[in-house]
Chain A
Amino acid sequence: MNDALDVALRLLIVFVVFLTFPLIIGQTEHKVMAHMQGRLGPMYAGGFHGWAQLVADGVKFAQKEDIVPAGADRRIFQLAPAVALLPYLLVLLAIPIGPGEGAVGEVVDAGVFFVLAVMGVGVLGSLMAGWASANKFSLLGGLRTAAQLLAYELPMLLTAASVAMAAGTVSIPGILDAFEWWWLPWQIVGAIVFFVAGLAELQRPPFDMPVADSEIIFGAYTEYTGLRFALFLLAEYAGIVVLCGLTTVLFLGGWHGPWGADGLGWVWTLLKAAILAFLVIWLRVTYPRLREDQLQKLSWTLLVPLSLAQIALTGIVKVVIQ
């Protein structure tokens, strides 16, 4: 009885996090972007500094008619948003927020593999959307999505493998238990590569070729309206939560901090993830979009060699300190 209640409670908490954190990041993005551009951003919805803007957006999306184009492959078109969104919910389950077994949705033995595998599945949603829309621009968006995933999945995996090597385990709580502060300079290259590759996998600027609005309208999501479109947007922001959380727990030590690790570990995790999320928004405001060939070049000629070098460095240090 207690076990069932415990599991239900954890699932509920993860679900609530899954529904609220992306909205918080979305609202932060509105505000941060606005202030960086010398504007105020949303100010009216909800009263205080427009805090309810995204709730209002959600209501608007829910009211819109749900249109499926006549030439589209109906069932796949409708299924695609769920395929894009659900993997991120599953990944959130495996990210520990504090020390001990109580602070993670579900302890997964091969956690690093689990999160990377399930995150890769989310891209299938974009591919399905791009193909099933029966629209040239959508198809181009889908193609670009696939090309981007294939290029950036490898450096992500390699750098995650580097951390797993350093910790001697592929379980995420295990990696956090083994973490020492000097891992930060040791794995810094891997951390940057992981974060950049993750951004590319989420198709966030400057890696938003697949949805480049000035070229191919909105890529794979061109034909979507209403709630299904909102689900794709939610998937993007849930992806930011997941990426920042993963970078935090794999490379930045998660709940480790200079002080207060006993009771306040979760504050450290949230703080680090929030700083990374701010960085994601900052990058969007700062950098122009990469061209497709620049994008491929960045991955294959820079990120992959860097991650291989990081693995070599990890191996050497690991052997030396043993």
Chain B
Amino acid sequence: MTLAATAAHLAPDTTAAAGSHGLLVTTAAESHGFLSPTGVEIAFLLVGLVTFGAAIVTVTTKQLVHAALWLVVTLGGLAVEYLLLTAEFIAWVQVLIYVGSVVVLLLFGLMLTKAPIGRSPDADSGNRWAALTVAVAAAGALVWVVVDAFRTTWIDLDGPAAGSTEATGASLFQNWVLPFEALSVLLLAALVGAIVLSRKTKAETSSPHVNSRAATGGSPSVPDSRNHPIGRNEPTEGTASAEGTASVQGTASAEGTTSAEQEGAR
């Protein structure tokens, strides 16, 4: 999301310094109109509708894993939107981070904890109206800010790509270096927090057999590893995976798979 936010900020910034960056963002409303859309604009709208629909299905479907898979469609649709806006680099990063890693992590967490085939009625939250209110308010605020900021801004799609890797990199490390670094500190804090959380619960739960198994590699004969992985519901995986940072994922997954491997080798 950080890169996405940067991309959103990229346009107004370059309007001020269009000459120095070589980015062509025209503010001429006379040559563009809402009533005579070009092919790209129509495609943008259609992909946007698909993305919106997939997002709604993601939060309303009663099947947990289906929700995660619809999330893939949603995030992929966003990547296509970035592509249509010539922000190629950001589109691929979107696919790499969100579709390739975050959703895989999500599915991993679901499979480790609770992933029944079919509907799971108990997955419904009682807070749905509060959640809807917050979601609508957040969406309203975002749409208002974006519309207000970019009202008369048009990206010239025929000119040099305004979102190429070079342009994005230059903008990120020349104009937006401070937010970029601040975000990396935020990620570091999340990482440390996740490590602390997983350490704590490790001491509480009965994990010594997992460790001894990993260290010695002897034949697994632990009786309490006999329950099905679907039934396993440890809070550790959920908390750690919610952080969404790469190396934390590894810590959590290394733990999870060692115990899963006992199941398999049995």
Contacts and interface: CB of A to CB of B under 8 A. Distances in A.
A150 B265 contact: no
Contacts of A294: 217
Given A124-B72, A146-B104, A293-B214, A73 B257 contact: no
A292 B117 contact: no
A171 B88 CA distance: 12
B264 A212 contact: yes
Interface stretch (A21-29, A41-49, A114-122, A176-184): A114-122
A143 B88 contact: no
B55 interface: no
A45 B214 CA distance: 46
B254 A147 contact: yes
Contacts of B228: 136
Most chain B Cβ neighbours within 10 Å, of A120, A127, A147, A212: A147
**Contact-size category for A:** 35 or more
B165 interface: yes
B256 interface: yes
B107 interface: yes
B69 A121 contact: no
Contacts of B50: none
B253 A124 contact: no
Given A108-B88, A117-B93, A124-B72, A146 B111 contact: yes
Interface string B235-266: 00000000000110110011011101101110
A215 B265 contact: yes
Contacts of B257: 143-144, 147, 292-293, 296
Given A143-B260, A296-B250, A296-B257, A110 B89 contact: yes
A161 to B, nearest CB: 12
Interface residues of B, number: 46
Interface stretch (B27-35, B95-103, B176-184): B95-103
A245 interface: no
A139 interface: yes
A300 interface: yes
Contacts of A72: 117
A127 B250 contact: no
B261 A293 contact: yes
Contacts, number: 148
Contact of B165 (A118, A170, A299): A170
Interface string B55-81: 000000000011001001000000000
Contact of A146 (B69, B96, B108, B165): B108
A114 B92 contact: yes
Given A120-B99, A146-B108, A109 B254 contact: no
Nearest to A152: B250
A215 B220 CA distance: 13
A118 B79 CA distance: 12
B47 interface: no
Contacts of A68: none
Most chain A Cβ neighbours within 10 Å, of B89, B117, B230, B256: B117
Contacts of A157: 96
Nearest to B86: A109
A154 B89 contact: no
Given A76-B69, A113-B92, A139-B111, A124 B104 contact: yes
A151 interface: yes
Contact of B65 (A121, A131, A146): A131
A304 B96 CA distance: 18
Interface string A65-85: 000000111001000000000
B24 interface: no
Contacts of B164: 109
Contact of A140 (B66, B161, B260): B260
Contact of A134 (B69, B117, B247): B117
Contact of A109 (B72, B99, B165, B247): B165
B111 A121 contact: no
Nearest to A148: B257
Nearest to B247: A154
A150 B243 CA distance: 14
Nearest to A122: B100
A167 interface: no
Contacts of A169: 165
A294 B213 CA distance: 11
Most chain A Cβ neighbours within 10 Å, of B100, B103, B164, B249: B100
A216 interface: yes
A108 B91 CA distance: 12
Interface of A: 71-73, 76, 108-110, 113-114, 116-118, 120-121, 123-124, 127-128, 130-132, 134, 136-137, 139-140, 142-144, 146-147, 149-151, 153-154, 157, 169-171, 209, 212, 215-216, 291-294, 296, 299-300, 304
Q: Which 5 residue pairs spanning A and B have beta carbons closest together?
A: A120-B100, A117-B96, A292-B261, A113-B92, A146-B108
